[in-house]
């Protein structure tokens, strides 16, 4: 990690907020660009969200995770990765505020239910491996982390193969309000090459300012005295999840609901598979061995919020409280409970 000039706590907070604003703007722009490119090249928006948008918005997590692994910081790697899962899922709950009804009412295919199911599977497998403590180790790398990578590859293959399938179709769907198409992004007249270059520039901005967010979050952890464990699972996870937050909210505001859902589930899958390259770089033993209680808590809360949305995707007509679906309310409550739990075991 490169050296940055010394700053006071107030200055660190100010630079953190400035970087957050830049990431927010770049993430929102990337959502508009991805939506327009999906229309131009006739790609399913759920697929664009799962494979393109989730990977682009996960760039800060990738850089942070691998850097922390090289620095042999097990807690920072795992708390950052797993702590962001419940947070990013809570983003979908907050997105109900901008959606025309509960966001889980909109998918017309079973893709998103399959995404959530595979995410539950991967979270459960990771939780089991964490509690077993990596009983099989080869060259300092736990076979459990390799198994997680294999499941991830299989999950992406299955989701890609299933994308064009119509062997399961939900019925009795609520009728969503009509949307303005093409989405009002101001990109209708922009050429394809310009769209692609703007998307690349947005990705570079997300990576650059995302890393600055991470650096200042780490500095705030030291200067505030809260410690890297609690900050890693809260502030740092929020910092690296900010691209997913901004892109998802922007996608919902232009009516690209399926892209927003796939972006979050896809990003959560990526955060789990990053355990494998982190384990390779972490040379102090298997990275999933001798973990803190906060790691198991983060995985458990990730399971809960994902399962809630899986239920929401299956139960199409559900009660609402104001603009929020009942599933989103439960996800927000669970996320707030997770923050209290993290503080308790810090």
Confirm whether 177 is domain-assigned. no
Res 55: pLDDT? 84
Confirm whether 185 is domain-assigned. no
Q: What is the 3-state composition of the chain as percent helix, strand, coil, each rounded to the nearest 5?
A: 70, 0, 25
Q: What percentage of the chain exceeds 70 in pLDDT?
A: 88
The structural domain count of the chain equals 1
Confirm whether 179 is domain-assigned. no
Per residue in 127-177, pLDDT tens? 999 999 877 888 888 899 999 999 999 999 998 888 766 555 655 555 444
Task: Check: CB of residue 346 under 8 Å from CB of residue 229.
Answer: yes
What average pLDDT does range 192-202 have in this prediction?
90
Closest CA to 255 of 93, 97, 98: 98
CATH number at residue 154: 1.20.1420.30
Rg (CA), the chain: 19
C-alpha 105/C-alpha 97 separation (Å) is: 14
pLDDT band at 54 (very low <50, low <70, confident <90, very high): confident
Pick 212 or 129 by higher pLDDT: 129
Res 143: pLDDT? 92
Query: Quick check: 75 pLDDT over 50?
Result: yes
Predicted structure pTM score = 0.82
Confirm whether 214 is domain-assigned. yes
Res 12: pLDDT? 87
Distance, first Cα to last Cα, the chain = 25
Instruction: Tell me the three state secondary structure of residue 138.
Output: strand
Confirm whether 178 is domain-assigned. no
Res 331: pLDDT? 95
Confirm whether 181 is domain-assigned. no
Give, for 142, the enclosing helix (H) or strand (E): strand 141-142
Task: Check: CB of residue 31 under 8 Å from CB of residue 255.
Answer: no
Residues across the chain: 346
Pick 10 or 237 by higher pLDDT: 10
- The domain in which residue 202 lies consists of 9-166+192-345
C-alpha 258/C-alpha 109 separation (Å) is: 10
CA 72 to chain centre: 23
Confirm whether 172 is domain-assigned. no
Pick 264 or 98 by higher pLDDT: 264
Confirm whether 252 is domain-assigned. yes
Closest CA to 50 of 313, 303, 254, 251: 251
Answer whether the bond into residue 182 is a cis peptide, omega within 30°: yes
């Amino acid at each position: 990690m490169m050296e940055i000039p010394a700053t006071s706590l107030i200055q660190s907070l100010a630079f953190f907020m400035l970087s957050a604003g830049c990431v927010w703007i770049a993430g929102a722009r990337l959502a508009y660009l991805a939506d327009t490119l999906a229309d131009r090249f006739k790609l399913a928006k759920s697929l664009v969200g799962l494979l393109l948008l989730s990977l682009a918005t996960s760039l800060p997590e990738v850089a942070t995770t691998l850097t922390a692994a090289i620095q042999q910081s097990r807690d920072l790697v795992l708390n950052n990765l797993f702590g962001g899962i419940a947070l990013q899922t809570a983003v979908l709950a907050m997105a109900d505020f901008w959606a025309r009804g509960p966001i889980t009412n909109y998918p017309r295919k079973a893709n998103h239910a399959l995404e959530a199911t595979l995410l539950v599977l991967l979270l459960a497998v990771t939780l089991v491996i964490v509690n077993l403590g990596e009983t099989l180790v080869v060259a300092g790398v736990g076979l459990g982390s390799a198994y997680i990578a294999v499941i991830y590859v299989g999950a992406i293959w299955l989701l890609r193969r299933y994308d064009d399938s119509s062997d399961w179709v939900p019925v009795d769907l609520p009728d969503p309000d009509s949307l303005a198409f093409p989405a009002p992004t101001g990109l209708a007249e922009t050429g394809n090459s310009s769209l692609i270059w703007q998307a690349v520039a947005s990705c570079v901005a997300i990576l650059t300012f995302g890393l600055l967010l991470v650096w200042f979050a780490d500095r705030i952890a030291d200067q505030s005295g809260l410690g890297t464990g609690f900050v890693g699972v809260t502030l740092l996870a929020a910092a690296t999840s900010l691209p997913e937050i901004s892109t998802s909210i922007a996608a919902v505001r232009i009516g690209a609901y399926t892209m927003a859902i796939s972006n979050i589930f896809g990003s959560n899958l990526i955060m789990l598979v990053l355990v494998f390259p982190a384990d390779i770089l972490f040379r102090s033993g298997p990275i999933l061995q001798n973990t803190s209680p906060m790691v198991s808590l983060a995985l458990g809360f990730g399971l809960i919020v994902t399962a809630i949305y899986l239920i929401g995707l299956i139960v199409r007509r559900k009660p609402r409280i104001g603009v929020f679906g009942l599933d989103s309310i439960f996800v927000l409550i669970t996320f707030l409970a997770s923050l209290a739990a993290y503080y308790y075991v810090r």
